[in-house]
Chains A and B, each alone.
Chain A
Amino acid sequence: MTEIRSPMSDFTPRPAQQAVLEYPGGTMGISAVPGSGKTWTLSALAAQIILEGTLTENQEILIVTLTNSAVDHFATRIEGFLRDQEGRPLLPYYRVRTLHGLAHDIVRERPELAGLDSNFQIIDEREANAIRDEVANTWLRTNPHTLDEYLDPELDEGRRDWVRRDQLPDLVKGIALSFIRTAKDMQRTPDTLRRQLDDLPLPLPLAEMGAAMYSDYQRSLAYRGAVDFDDLIRLALQALHTDDDLLGRLQEMWPFILEDEAQDSSHLQEEILRLLAGSNGNWVRVGDPNQAIYESFTTADPKYLREFMAQADLPRELPNSGRSTRSVINLANYLIDWTQREHPVLEVRNALDVPYIEPTPEGDPQPNPADAPEGIHLVETKFSPDGEIQTVADSIERWLEEHPDETVAVLAPRNTRGFALNDELRRREIETVDSLLRSSSSTRFTAGALGNILQYLADPGSPGKLARVYRVWRRADRGDSDLWKQVQATAKILQSCRHVEDFLRPGPERDWLEYLREQDIPGDELDQLEGFRLVLSRWLKTIELPIDQMILTLSQELFTKPNDLAIAHKLAVLLRRARNMHPEWHLPELTGELAVIAKNERRFLGFSEDDTGFDPDKHKGKVVIATVHKAKGLEWDRVYLMSVNNYDFPSGMEYDSYIPEKWFIRDNLNLEAETLAQLEAAFSRDAYEWYAEGRPTYEARMEYVRERLRLLYVGITRAKRDLIITWNAGRKGNQQPAIPLVALQSYWKQNGEVRE
């Protein structure tokens, strides 16, 4: 690449960003610290390549990222760069995809190669869950005593029975999930796994369990003509491996691959992109291995990105971040330092890595906030769980009054803690935003409105559901609190209507509305009810329509925003398909399906405009409550990190306990980890890697400790200025502050604390 010019004339890249923009081709690995503007830099790079005009009409830059909201974000950024530029093509010369979206694109090129029919279905996470549950239960029913040898021998028979009934199902379901996911990640079909297990000289009982469930699960999918999200990725890779022509064509089409959030890449994602990039390809990966944190079981691992960076033609760093004060930066950097040099467990010292975060250079348009060491509070007090909540709530209450125009978040390691605090703040009438805890989305909102109506239509005699439909119908008035109170009151009246038909289709002398007129009800509301009755009688007629037409008809009356209408249209198409697959389904089943679809389809839909695009600045003066995982990529003026104790942040110490190790399993075994290790052992050619019981549990522990260190790092780096970390001693009062917290406290005492 020759001359570089910034695609944005009014912005000069920082030197580190400029170094990235001078990309001449080849492999480039960029390690980016939190807040370093990596998405901006990557978008600028994409825009620059497009403007240089080297792409032919059949070529695109392929951009792969993690979430749908990131997909939109990228597109908006790139469009922003390209706007007003001369020679801009009509069609975008780039394609932004999540990994699932990309896999879908690839598989759709030649579905029959993967044994798929043109109209193959992708089942959503909930249906996959339901199938796994079924599969796990079946396995337990037919093998009631196979796991007995893993139960704690101390348990008496009565207790064992209870464990089998009450505890094992959940454990086995969890194992089914991770086993199937891992097997797919290893590109193993149930068939090849079966053969492998049959050929082994020694039995692997846990792998046998997993294999049986995997095989059942895949059969269930095939019966439905469906694949799951993991299959999609597996099959995409398979297509690239088996069809050189296809690979060649895609390589030609995507001469540049830019990958964001590469620390969350799995082995398969890396392999797909490696193939697409080709041996001398142009492949840029940006990520922050320090931010590799996971909410549920995943095959992703930051080691892939680290290895890539070590071998890339061009290793680069984006170390500057204008997000936080010097004090917050120092704390985060110290955590890296301490982990690498002083963590008591040697094996986890690689959990965090350089580069350190550096403030932006002088004159940068994004200067760091003025330092405010007084904003840092690493609280040493030993609280009870409730005491911690009260203390945080007190602190927020005081602070909010003085800072109504600032942003604040409380981040907890788990949802339950977040909800507990949420309840307390609401009790104190402090406004909170808990949408990140609830992972709400516009898809779900649209579907929710439709779902409420469908639920009523499936059970039209229910006054409670009728009242809910009324609230849906009047939902535009939600913004006006007085009006909304009235709506709620009217809904309550509707709820008291004993005979719904007397409202909807009254016989002579039985008009419930007439009866209301004699009561003390405001005339406005009566008019509203009259109108509602009219609308409802139209909606009731829609039950004669096929489900898709029903949805479309209702949505035409309910929605005006294009986004809502588009989602409704898509829901109509999908429900129609569901109905075709299950011709015996009627309204009640389809209503249930609507909720399912709403929850999952957004995984690679383009309807995510305001799905997860959470903007903290829109919630000034309110308290955002989230888990640390959900807070990734976000920032607030003030951040509270709660529950930083050795239960949620264990450090590999003797006295630590680990959530994945169940009390009813002997020898503290992590049965999930043991099962996965047996799966890997089955395919291992190395005799030294043969399965040894207990080792996988230990390794899983170490991995957990590492992830928790990164989680803490992510939590700290969410703060722009104020950071308050607290801990509690747990329900039994025996928990300790997390060791890294203690280390941070002592560092802060020596180096930063402001003495009053």
Chain B
Amino acid sequence: MPSIANQLTPDQISIIEAPLDAKIFLEGHAGTGKTTVGVERILTLLEAGIPGNQMLLLVPQRTLAAPYYEALRSPTTTAGGAVTVLTIGGLAKRMVELFWPLISAEAGFANPNRPPTFLTLETAQYNMAHLVRPLLDQGFFESITIERNRLYSQILDNLSKAAVVGFPHTEISQKLKSAWSGEPGQAHIYDDAQHCANLFRTYCLEHNLLDFSLQIEVFRNHLWPAPVCHEYLLENYRHLVADNVEENAPVTHDLLQAWLPELESGLLIHDLEAGYRRFTGADPQTMYELKDYCDQQVTFSESFSASDEVLNFGYAIAQSLLPEDESGPFKIDDVPFPIHHSPLDSTRYYPQMLDWIVEQIALLIEDGVPPGEIVVLSSYLSDALRFSLTERLDELGIPTYSHRPSRSLREEPATQTLLTLAALAHPHWGLPPSKFDLAYAFIQAIAGLDLVRAQLLTDIVYQKRNGRLSPFDQIKPETQERITYKLGNLYEKLRLWLDAYIQEPPEELDHFFNRLFGEMLSQPGFGFHADYDAGEVTANLIESVRKFRWAVGESLEAEGIPLGKEYLQMVDDGVIAAQYLYRWQTQIEDAVFLAPAYTFLMRNRSVEYQFWLDIGSRGWYERIRQPLTHPYVLSRHWDLHRPWTDADEYDASRDSLHRLVLGLIRRCRRGIFLGLSELGEQGYEHKGLLLKAIDRALRSAGKEE
């Protein structure tokens, strides 16, 4: 048994060591040791000789599996085959892959004998754009104001909602329209959205394309009921642990209902008052029905994570948010609030608040708090905010990490260079790069070339009109000298390589990148030589192109459009963001974590100190407003014809803030720092619900540490 065994409570032990055929529903607030039980239970099953590959760990999002991975990778863990860790989407995809020939015809795919293509969010968006763009020119969606890429993603979102909530995708518009409380004439946009969703679905079926929604629907409607597939699942997975079940959508809950009676053992873990992923369809209500399918229901109430003081502060906020809620918990009057806030009179501006935060973090670390015990949370982490904080902390030598890389792939200088050179190497695409872009690419590509010389060089050798580069030795000797012969020589090598490439028939874009990188850019004297980052970026770009080719290569070829050209244009259009999570695996280290509050919650860990940034912001509770979709209206519990009103909106805001605050304080052991500036990041004065609630809590307590 691992060493934590002696720290476990009797309640925990009784679940961990329950009989091998026990089916248990465990609930409790964050920080009551539920996930520890989940991890230990799996280890116990392994120790009891159950092979790992007979166990399924189902999580709503992969980050939530982190504690399990950690334990399973530990050298002391009993060997016995790998435990399968999946999300519902992952399970669906795996099943579709396995049983495709069996159900492809029945599910309505036009070419059942050909293999399926799974769409990423990016390639789904690409296909959607392809279908919807002509409709926009016909006047679709004219009465709403929305960026095109957001429009495509909201239509996709509707399809996903239909799939995970479990209603036919053809009912999307009916549901949305019946809840519409705005100007009646405006409701037709939902018909437009429905039309596009239908079109997309038909297109997918015609071309064997499976976006997330179709993967789920095929799994649910065709694979699960198919005896072969069903048996396969039952044989392979005999034991189930499902953590954070409240973050799953109804279809997952339906599936668990059907599955539980047939499993040998099951442990369902419910984080009370969570349910943060509403926008993806999370439904705590349908989750509750699962209780009846377990033999044993256990509730944990003792908190290991939060201190009484911190909890007390959270309860005070909760109370002032929902004063009418009499179910508690309630604050205790004589327990002080362990909070600090930025000085009101000297933090008018946002960067001043950032300075204060950095100062406080530095003080904590000076006092011996490990950086990994500090999180900086905001409602929304803009790139500017992340960069500002990282830079400031960097200067003090304080390590940080963030939930995603600081830039999207397409913003990487290496990517831009590759794309520019690709355009140059394929003149028949008709996308000659601008002089600025080319000079920029030269700086990256040729080691030691500076901006001034790069521009001088580009001005002379490049003619945008025909997209060609002229030889270095045609430049006046005086100017050659200014650029220097050494750099000129490297330029010449690159030019000759490109020239030679142009003479030959064009290759696939990913192959082109491969060669450009391998034969030129990674060679000594060139910019990517011995540059690990550039290599990684190149690899990611190649992967993105490859996926794009798999998803749309065939249809583009049929239309006679060069894939590379299309890819470049889609990057320019923003349809392809080429956003990759890279290196996130290595980020679990002793560093200050900067993240949006919900991201922190989804990591399911507690820390000593939390910084809440810009507490006046509305982003702390406001859902993202989307004119074409609606997480509440499309949920399973919304009655058809009931309008979604301002009161509903307000209640939903308060409710989600309530959950958020309690979720955060239950993951905080020592203290909270409140960052507040008179003007927010955008220069607006903020007076959101959180700030008001804190203000009220402070005043009613009349105390503050």
Interface residues, chain A, with chain B CB atoms under 8 Å away: 57-58, 60, 89-91, 95, 101, 104, 108-120, 189, 191, 219, 221-227, 238, 242-243, 245-246, 248-249, 457-461, 499-502, 504-505, 507, 540, 543-544, 546, 548-549, 551-553, 556, 562-563, 565-567, 569-570, 572-573, 576, 580-581, 583-584, 586-588, 601, 604-607
Q: Say whether B574 faces chain A, with CB atoms less than 8 Å apart.
A: yes
Give a binary string over B668-705; 1 marks a CB under 8 Å from any A CB, 0 the rest: 00000000001101111101000110011011000000
A543-B440 CB under 8 A given contacts A112-B625, A246-B646, A576-B383: yes
Q: How far is the CA of A544 from the CA of B663 in the complex (A)?
A: 39
Q: Contacts of A227 on B, CB cut-off 8 Å? A: 145
Q: Contacts of A120 on B, CB cut-off 8 Å? A: 145-146
Q: Contacts of B450 on A, CB cut-off 8 Å? A: 501, 504-505, 540
Q: Is the CB of A584 within 8 A of B572?
A: yes
Q: Say whether B77 faces chain A, with CB atoms less than 8 Å apart.
A: no
Q: Contacts of A108 on B, CB cut-off 8 Å? A: 618
Q: Say whether B396 faces chain A, with CB atoms less than 8 Å apart.
A: no
Q: Is the CB of A245 within 8 A of B436?
A: no
Q: Contacts of A57 on B, CB cut-off 8 Å? A: 692, 695-696
A607-B683 CB under 8 A given contacts A116-B627, A227-B145: yes
Q: Say whether B467 faces chain A, with CB atoms less than 8 Å apart.
A: no
Q: Say whether B455 faces chain A, with CB atoms less than 8 Å apart.
A: yes
Q: Contacts of A562 on B, CB cut-off 8 Å? A: 348-349, 351-352
Report the interface size for chain B: residues with CB under 8 A from the other chain.
74
Q: How far is the CA of A457 from the CA of B444 in the complex (A)?
A: 16
Q: Is the CB of A586 within 8 A of B440?
A: yes
Q: In the complex, which residue of chain B has the Cβ closest to the Cβ of A565?
A: B351
Q: How far is the CA of A569 from the CA of B681 in the complex (A)?
A: 7
Q: Contacts of B692 on A, CB cut-off 8 Å? A: 57-58, 91
Q: How far is the CA of A567 from the CA of B348 in the complex (A)?
A: 12
Q: Which 3 A-B pairs have the closest CB atoms?
A: A245-B646, A566-B349, A225-B147
A501-B407 CB under 8 A given contacts A111-B625, A563-B349, A580-B574: no
Q: Say whether B555 faces chain A, with CB atoms less than 8 Å apart.
A: no
Q: Say whether B645 faces chain A, with CB atoms less than 8 Å apart.
A: yes
A118-B350 CB under 8 A given contacts A243-B181, A243-B645, A549-B387: no
Q: Say whether B525 faces chain A, with CB atoms less than 8 Å apart.
A: no
Q: Is the CB of B698 within 8 A of A222?
A: no
Give a binary string over B320-357; 1 marks a CB under 8 Å from any A CB, 0 the rest: 00000000000000000000000010001111100000
A546-B383 CB under 8 A given contacts A570-B681, A606-B683: yes
Q: Is the CB of A89 within 8 A of B685?
A: no
Q: How far is the CA of A221 from the CA of B141 in the complex (A)?
A: 13
Q: Say whether B558 faces chain A, with CB atoms less than 8 Å apart.
A: no
Q: How far is the CA of A584 from the CA of B685 in the complex (A)?
A: 33
Q: Is the CB of B678 within 8 A of A461?
A: no
Q: Say whether B120 faces chain A, with CB atoms less than 8 Å apart.
A: no
Q: Is the CB of A91 within 8 A of B382?
A: no
Q: In the complex, which residue of chain A has the Cβ closest to the Cβ of B572?
A: A584
Interface of B, helix, strand, loop or mixed by DSSP: helix
**Whole-angstrom distance between the Cβ of B560 and the nearest chain A Cβ:** 24
The segment from B2-10, B182-190, B224-232, B580-588 that touches chain A is: B182-190
B183, B189, B444 — most chain A CB neighbours (10 Å): B183
Interface of A, helix, strand, loop or mixed by DSSP: helix
Q: Is the CB of B189 within 8 A of A115?
A: yes
**Whole-angstrom distance between the Cβ of B173 and the nearest chain A Cβ:** 15
Q: How far is the CA of A393 from the CA of B1 in the complex (A)?
A: 96
Q: Contacts of B459 on A, CB cut-off 8 Å? A: 461
Q: Say whether B11 faces chain A, with CB atoms less than 8 Å apart.
A: no
Q: Say whether B98 faces chain A, with CB atoms less than 8 Å apart.
A: no
Q: In the complex, which residue of chain A has the Cβ closest to the Cβ of B704?
A: A90
Q: In the complex, which residue of chain B has the Cβ closest to the Cβ of A458?
A: B436
- Please pick, from B189, B344, B451, B696, the residue contacting A540 in the complex, using a CB distance under 8 A: B451
Q: How far is the CA of A567 from the CA of B352 in the complex (A)?
A: 12
Q: Is the CB of A587 within 8 A of B384?
A: no
Q: Contacts of A605 on B, CB cut-off 8 Å? A: 683-684
Q: In the complex, which residue of chain B has the Cβ closest to the Cβ of A96?
A: B685
Q: Contacts of A91 on B, CB cut-off 8 Å? A: 687, 691-692, 695
**Whole-angstrom distance between the Cβ of A726 and the nearest chain B Cβ:** 43
Q: How far is the CA of A548 from the CA of B387 in the complex (A)?
A: 9
Q: In the complex, which residue of chain B has the Cβ closest to the Cβ of A108?
A: B618
Q: Contacts of A115 on B, CB cut-off 8 Å? A: 143-145, 182, 186, 189, 627
Q: Is the CB of A573 within 8 A of B384?
A: yes
Q: How far is the CA of A113 from the CA of B692 in the complex (A)?
A: 25
Q: Is the CB of A583 within 8 A of B574?
A: yes
- Within 430-472 of B, Cβ neighbours of A (below 8 Å) are at 434, 436-437, 440, 444, 450-453, 455-456, 459
Q: Contacts of B625 on A, CB cut-off 8 Å? A: 110-112, 116-118
Q: Is the CB of A459 within 8 A of B455?
A: yes
Q: Is the CB of A226 within 8 A of B145?
A: yes
Q: Contacts of B682 on A, CB cut-off 8 Å? A: 570, 573
Q: Is the CB of B391 within 8 A of A556?
A: yes
- Within 401-454 of B, Cβ neighbours of A (below 8 Å) are at 406-407, 410-411, 413, 434, 436-437, 440, 444, 450-453
> Could you name 19 residue pairs across A and B whose Cβ atoms are closer than 8 Å?
A90-B695, A101-B684, A111-B627, A117-B627, A224-B147, A226-B145, A243-B181, A248-B646, A501-B482, A505-B450, A505-B452, A544-B444, A549-B407, A552-B391, A562-B352, A573-B382, A584-B572, A586-B436, A605-B684
**Whole-angstrom distance between the Cβ of B664 and the nearest chain A Cβ:** 21
Q: Contacts of B297 on A, CB cut-off 8 Å? A: none
Q: Is the CB of A112 within 8 A of B387?
A: no
- Within 97-143 of B, Cβ neighbours of A (below 8 Å) are at 141-143
Q: Is the CB of B388 within 8 A of A569?
A: yes
**Whole-angstrom distance between the Cβ of B114 and the nearest chain A Cβ:** 34
Q: In the complex, which residue of chain B has the Cβ closest to the Cβ of A457?
A: B451
Q: How far is the CA of A225 from the CA of B624 in the complex (A)?
A: 15
Q: How far is the CA of A117 from the CA of B344 in the complex (A)?
A: 33
A245, A457, A552, A566 — most chain B CB neighbours (10 Å): A566
Q: How far is the CA of A565 from the CA of B349 in the complex (A)?
A: 8
Q: Is the CB of A583 within 8 A of B572?
A: yes
Q: How far is the CA of A111 from the CA of B186 in the complex (A)?
A: 13
Q: Say whether B473 faces chain A, with CB atoms less than 8 Å apart.
A: no
Q: Is the CB of A89 within 8 A of B695?
A: yes
Q: Contacts of A566 on B, CB cut-off 8 Å? A: 348-352, 679, 683
Q: Contacts of B500 on A, CB cut-off 8 Å? A: none
Q: Say whether B650 faces chain A, with CB atoms less than 8 Å apart.
A: yes
Q: Contacts of B181 on A, CB cut-off 8 Å? A: 113, 242-243
Q: Contacts of A563 on B, CB cut-off 8 Å? A: 349
- Please pick, from A58, A101, A112, the residue contacting B627 in the complex, using a CB distance under 8 A: A112
Q: Is the CB of A95 within 8 A of B482?
A: no
Q: Is the CB of B182 within 8 A of A90?
A: no
Q: Contacts of B531 on A, CB cut-off 8 Å? A: none
Q: Contacts of B698 on A, CB cut-off 8 Å? A: 90
A461-B626 CB under 8 A given contacts A95-B687, A222-B142, A583-B571: no
Q: Contacts of B627 on A, CB cut-off 8 Å? A: 111-112, 115-117
Q: Contacts of A226 on B, CB cut-off 8 Å? A: 145
Q: Contacts of A118 on B, CB cut-off 8 Å? A: 624-626
Q: Say whether B150 faces chain A, with CB atoms less than 8 Å apart.
A: yes
Q: In the complex, which residue of chain B has the Cβ closest to the Cβ of A231?
A: B145
Q: Say whether B499 faces chain A, with CB atoms less than 8 Å apart.
A: no
A104, A115, A459, A607 — most chain B CB neighbours (10 Å): A115
Give a binary string over B344-376; 1 marks a CB under 8 Å from any A CB, 0 the rest: 100011111000000000000000000000000
Q: Say whether B536 faces chain A, with CB atoms less than 8 Å apart.
A: no
Q: Contacts of B685 on A, CB cut-off 8 Å? A: 95, 606
Q: Contacts of A119 on B, CB cut-off 8 Å? A: 147, 150
B630, B683, B687 — most chain A CB neighbours (10 Å): B683
Q: Contacts of A116 on B, CB cut-off 8 Å? A: 144-146, 625, 627
Q: How far is the CA of A567 from the CA of B142 in the complex (A)?
A: 34
Q: Say whether B48 faces chain A, with CB atoms less than 8 Å apart.
A: no
If A222-B142, A248-B646, A569-B388 are given as contacts, then 14 extra A-B residue pairs at C-beta distance below 8 Å, sorted by A number, are A89-B695, A90-B344, A109-B646, A110-B625, A112-B182, A116-B627, A219-B142, A225-B150, A249-B646, A461-B456, A562-B351, A583-B410, A587-B436, A605-B683
